[in-house]
Structure 1
Amino acid sequence: MKKFAIMMLSASLCFSMIQPDVLADGVEKEKDILSEVENVSTLTIDNVVERGLKRQSLLLLLGYQMEIIENQQNQIIRDRDNTSWDLVDAKDDLDEMRDRRNDLNEGINGLKAQIEAIEAEMASVQEELAALDPNSPNYSIDLLEGQLALLQQELARLQLTMTESELEQAKGGLDQGIAVFEAQIEALEDALYQLQLAIQQLSSGKIQLTFEVEESTLMLETMLKSNFVQLLSTEKQNDFTQQALDQKEKEMKKMKRQVELGLVSAYELEQAERDFASQKRDLEQANKDFQRELAKLALDIGVQYHEDLELEPVSVTSLRPLKSNNNIDQLVNNSYAMRKAEQDLAMAKLEVDHVKNKRDVSSYEINQAELAVKVEEENMRQLKRDLKENIDDLYYDAAKAYEAVEKGKRELRYAESDYSKLKRQYEIGLISAFVYNQGEIQVKQAAFELQMAELSYYLLLEQVEAMQNGLIQP
C-alpha cells in the first residue's frame, strides 16, 4: 500500500532571500511559540493536530516567506507606478519638444520662402539694371536706385539667413533633446516591462507559496494523525501482549504443579520460562519505545510529558464503506500537484513572451524557451497519469482495508459465539479450564485484530479526505 509522505520544500522557495531583520523577527516569534508548554492529562487526535500545526516551524517559515514576497511585490508595484508616471511625463515632454520643433520647421520654411522671394526680386532687379541704356539721360539715377534696391534686398536676405541659421541651431538642439528623450522613453518602457514581468513572477510565486502552505498543512495534518494512530496501535499492541503474558503466567503456575505431579517434564517448564522471560523483556522494551515516542510527540506539540499522559481512542464506530469518486479528472485538476504544475507551465509561457520581447534576441534563445514550455506540458501529462494511478491505488487500498474490517467483525462474532458455547460446556464440566481460557484468548485476539483493522481503515479514510482536498502525492 502506498503511503502519504511529507515531501521536502521546493528549492524555489529560496529561504536565502529572507532579509536578516525579517528572519530574526520570525525566529523570535517562533521561539516564543515553541517555548510554550502546557500540562495536560489526555491527548485527543484533534488536539494533537491543532497543537502540532501551531508549532510547526515549516509553516511559520512559509508564512514569513509569504510576507517577504508581498513586501517585495508592493515595492515593485510602487516602482512600477513611479516608472509609469515618469514615462507619461517623458512622453509629454517629448510631445512638447516635437511641437516646438514643428514650430521651428514652419518658421524655417517661412524664412526660406522669404529668402527665395527676395532672391527672385534681386534677380529681377539685376535684369532691369542690365537692360538700362547708358545713353539714357536718367541712366545714372536709375542705376543708383537699382543698386540701392539690390543693397536693401541683400541686407534683408542676410538678416533672414542669419535668423534661419539661428533657428536651425535651435532645431539641432531640439533634435538632440528629442533623441535623448526617445532613448529615455525606450529605457523607461524596458524598465516598465521588466517590472511588470517581475510582478507577474511574484504573483505566481505567491500562488505557488499559497499552494505550498495549504499542501504542507494537509501533509502535516496527515503526519500528525498517522503518528497519533500509530501510537494508539502500539499501545493496544502492548496491552494485548501484556494480557497474553498474564495468561501465560497463569499457565506457568499450572505447569509447575504439573511438573510436581510428573505430568510435564522440567525441561518443558524451563523452555516455557525462557520463552516467557524473553517475551516479557520484549514487552518492556516495547513499552519504553512507546513512552519515548509519546514523549517526542508531546515535545513536538508543546505538551509536558509524563508517564500518566493518556491517548484518547479515535472513534471508529461509524466507519462506513468508501464510495469511489467517478470524477477522477476533477480530483486530479483540483490537486495541489497539478495546480503547481499549471503555474510552472504559465511561467514557462510567460518566459517565452519575455524572450521574444527582448531586443537582439537570437532564434536559439526563443527555441530554448519554447522547448521549456513543451517540457512542462509533457511533465503535466505524466503527472496526470501518475496522479490518476495513485488515486486508483488509494481507493483500492481503502476498499481492501474495509473488507479487512468486515472480516475482523465476522471473526470476532465467530470467536464470541464459540466462547459462549465453551462457557456452557465448561459450566457443566465437559471441557477443562484450559480449553475455556483458550476461547477467551481467541476472543481477545479477534477483538485486537479488529481494532488494528479499524485503525488502518481510519487512517486510509483520512488520506482519502486529504486527497479530496487536493493532497495527492505523484
Structure 2
Amino acid sequence: MQVPGTDTHFCSRLLIFVLEYVLWNGTSFVEMGRFLSCGAFFTMHHNRMKNRIDIQRCLLWRAVQCDSAILVIVRKLFIHGRIHRMKKGVTTGLAALIASTTLTPVAFADDHSSDVKEDQQAPDSSSDESEETGEESVELIDTLTLDAAVEHALTDNTSLMLLQYRLDNLKSQLDATEDDHRDLEIDIDDLEDDFDDLKEQPGNTFQPRYQIHNQIKKMENSLDQLEDAFEELTSNQVTLEFNQQEAEENIKFKTISTFMNLVMTKDQLAFTKDSLETQRKQVKATKRRYDLGLASRTEFRTDQRELTRLESQIKQTETTLENNLREFAADIGIVYHDDLSLEAPETDSVEPIEQEETTEELINNSYSMKTAKEELELAKYKLEQAKENINDTEKDVDAKDIEQAEINVDQKKENITQLKEDLKKAIDSLFTDAANQYQTVMDKRYELDYAKEDHQNLKRRLDVGLVSQLEYDVARTQVEQAELDYTAAKQQYFLLKHQVDLLRNGVIQTGGSSQQASMK
C-alpha cells in the first residue's frame, strides 16, 4: 500500500541508493535501519529528485527535522563521492525485500554476495544503467587550483546546507506566526463587532457580552504571546543569518589555509628529495675516503645515518601528504586519485599590509559583535515586556521575573565589553603579525641573494679546480634551502593577507587562531 503523498518511483530509488551503499561499503544495517524507519520522510515531495545530490539534500532536510542520526549517514554519503551501480533487477528486488519483509539484513547481504561480485565484473551493464537513470558521472580533476578548491568547498557544503535549512525553517515559523497574528486580529475585530451589536439590542445581554469580553481578553493575551514569539524568532533569524555568512567566510579561509599547507608540504618534500641525492653522493665520497684511510669510520657512519634519516623522512612525508590530500579532497567534495596535483597560487607580489579601517569600525563590522548586540536587544525587549506586564494578573509576571530579565541584560552588556577587548587584541595581533612576516619575507630574500652570490663565487673556484664538484653540489643545496625558506615566507604572508581579508569581511579569529588553521 502506498503511503499518501509519496512517490513510489523515488522511494524505490532511495531504497536502492541506500542498499547499494550498504553492500559496497559494509555500513551497518542497524544504522541504515534508523534512517529507513523515519516514515515521515516519505511524505515529502520528490518529483524533481533526479540525482544523488537531490537525494542528499532531502536527507539533510530530514536530519534537521527528524533524527540527528541521519546526519551521520548523510555525511558518509557525501564523503563517499562515487556511487557504484548494481544490476537493476537485483537491486530492485533487494530493495523490495527490505521494504516488505523482516529478513535479517546481515544474512541478506551474505546470500547475495555472489550477485555483487558478478556486478563487479560487468562494467558494461553498470554503464548502461547509469545512462538509463541519468546518474551524474564523476569528473576527475587532474590539477586543482586554489579558486577551484574554494568553489568546490562552498558547493553543496553540508554545514552551509544545514544552516540554510534551519534558516528556511525559521522563516517558515515566522510566516506562520504572522498568519496567526493576522487571524487573531481579525477574530478580535469580529468579536468586538458582536459585542457592540449586543449592546444595541434590547433586553438583558449582560451574560453574552461578558462571555465575549472574556474571549477578547484571552485572544489579546494570545496576541501578546504571538508578538513576543515573533520578536524572538526575528532575532533568531538575524543571528542565524550572521552565523551563515560567518560560516561561509570561515570555510573559504580554511580551504585556502589547508590548500597552502599542502603546497608547502609538497615543496618541502621536493627539497628533501634533492637533499637525498646530494647526501648519497656525500656517502659515496666518504666511503672512498674511508677505504683510502682518509676518513674515520665515525665520519662514514654519520653520513650513512643522515642518509637513512632523509629516506625515512621522505617516506613519512609522502604518506602524510597523501593522507592529507585525500582528506582535503573529501572535505571539498572531489574525488581523490593518484594523479591529483595542486597548482600553487602566485605569491610573488609582496606589499605591506596597512590597516585601512579603524579598530572600532572593524569590531562593529564583525559578525560576533553584531550577534552580541542582537542578543542584547532581545534581552532588553524581554525586560520591557516584563515591566509592562507586572501589574497584569493574567500575565503571571512578578518582581523576580523582572530581576532575572535585568540580570540577563547586564550579562549581555558585560559580554559585549569583554568581546570588544578580545577583538581589539586579535586585530592588533593580526596586523603586528603581518608587519613581522613582511619583514621576514624581506630578510629571506636577502639571504637568498647572499646564498646565490656565494654559490656563484664557488662556481668560479670550481672552474679553476680549487674545490671539488661535491663541495659545489653541497653549496647548491644551501641555495635551494634559501629558496625554499623564501618561498615559504611568501606563502605564509599570502595566508596572512587572506586572514586580513577575512577580518575585513567580518570574521575576527580569537582564542589562538592563526593563519595556519586547517580544515575539519
Normalised to the residue count of structure 2, the TM-score between the two structures is 0.71
Alignment of 1:267-282 (within 5 A): 267-282=298-313
Deviation of 1:431 after TM superposition, in Å, equals: 2.9
Matched, 1:239 2:270: yes
Name the SS of the counterpart of 1:304 in structure 2.
Answer: coil
Candidates 396, 409, 413, aligned match of 1:373: 409
Candidates 323, 331, 340, aligned match of 2:354: 323
Q: Deviations over 1:327-366 (max 9, x none)?
A: 1111000100000001100110111122223333211211
Matched, 1:74 2:184: no
What residue in structure 1 maps to residue 453 of structure 2?
417
Q: Deviations over 1:81-127 (max 9, x none)?
A: 11110011111212222333xxx5xxxxxxxxxxxxxxxxxxxxxxx
Counterpart residue type for residue 74 of structure 1: D
Matched, 1:189 2:193: no
8 Å contact 1:332–1:384 — kept in the other structure? yes
Candidates 452, 455, 462, aligned match of 1:426: 462
8 Å contact 1:26–1:64 — kept in the other structure? no
What residue in structure 1 maps to residue 58 of structure 2?
26
**Percent of aligned pairs sharing the same letter:** 32
8 Å contact 1:337–1:473 — kept in the other structure? no
What residue in structure 2 maps to residue 363 of structure 1?
399
Counterpart residue type for residue 148 of structure 2: N
Deviation of 1:25 after TM superposition, in Å, equals: 6.0
Tell me the matched-pair count.
387
8 Å contact 1:345–1:377 — kept in the other structure? yes
Alignment of 1:107-118 (within 5 A): none
Greater RCO, CA 8 A, separation 6+: 1
Query: Does the C-alpha gap of structure 1 residues 46 and 19 become closer, same or farther in structure 2, counting only changes over 3 Å?
Result: farther
Name the SS of the counterpart of 2:249 in structure 1.
Answer: helix
What residue in structure 1 maps to residue 20 of structure 2?
none
Matched, 1:401 2:453: no
What residue in structure 1 maps to residue 484 of structure 2?
448
Normalised to the residue count of structure 1, the TM-score between the two structures is 0.77
Query: Does the C-alpha gap of structure 1 residues 346 and 398 become closer, same or farther in structure 2, counting only changes over 3 Å?
Result: same
Q: Deviations over 1:253-276 (max 9, x none)?
A: 111221222211234223321231
Distance in 2 between residues matched to 1:428 and 1:346, nearest whole Å: 81
Q: Deviations over 1:109-162 (max 9, x none)?
A: xxxxxxxxxxxxxxxxxxxxxxxxxxxxxxxxxxxxxxxxxxxxxxxxxxxxxx
Matched, 1:47 2:47: no
Query: Does the C-alpha gap of structure 1 residues 40 and 326 become closer, same or farther in structure 2, counting only changes over 3 Å?
Result: closer
Distance in 2 between residues matched to 1:208 and 1:20, nearest whole Å: 29
Counterpart residue type for residue 373 of structure 1: V
Distance in 1 between residues matched to 2:56 and 2:178, nearest whole Å: 26
What residue in structure 2 maps to residue 108 of structure 1?
none
Candidates 482, 485, 497, aligned match of 1:461: 497
Counterpart residue type for residue 311 of structure 1: L
Query: Does the C-alpha gap of structure 1 residues 242 and 20 become closer, same or farther in structure 2, counting only changes over 3 Å?
Result: farther
Deviation of 1:20 after TM superposition, in Å, equals: 5.9
8 Å contact 2:279–2:303 — kept in the other structure? no
What residue in structure 1 maps to residue 184 of structure 2?
83
Distance in 1 between residues matched to 2:467 and 2:345, nearest whole Å: 39
Distance in 2 between residues matched to 1:20 and 1:53, nearest whole Å: 29
Q: Which of the two has higher C-alpha Rg?
A: 1
Query: Does the C-alpha gap of structure 1 residues 206 and 99 become closer, same or farther in structure 2, counting only changes over 3 Å?
Result: same
Distance in 2 between residues matched to 1:446 and 1:223, nearest whole Å: 28
Distance in 2 between residues matched to 1:244 and 1:436, nearest whole Å: 13
What residue in structure 2 maps to residue 310 of structure 1?
341
Distance in 1 between residues matched to 2:163 and 2:337, nearest whole Å: 32
Distance in 1 between residues matched to 2:182 and 2:475, nearest whole Å: 82
8 Å contact 1:41–1:310 — kept in the other structure? yes
Counterpart residue type for residue 219 of structure 1: N
Counterpart residue type for residue 140 of structure 2: N
What residue in structure 2 maps to residue 218 of structure 1?
249
8 Å contact 1:404–1:453 — kept in the other structure? yes
Query: Does the C-alpha gap of structure 1 residues 24 and 319 become closer, same or farther in structure 2, counting only changes over 3 Å?
Result: closer
Deviation of 1:378 after TM superposition, in Å, equals: 1.2
8 Å contact 2:455–2:479 — kept in the other structure? yes
8 Å contact 1:38–1:302 — kept in the other structure? no
Deviation of 1:33 after TM superposition, in Å, equals: 6.3
Name the SS of the counterpart of 1:38 in structure 2.
Answer: coil
8 Å contact 2:434–2:497 — kept in the other structure? yes
Counterpart residue type for residue 310 of structure 1: S
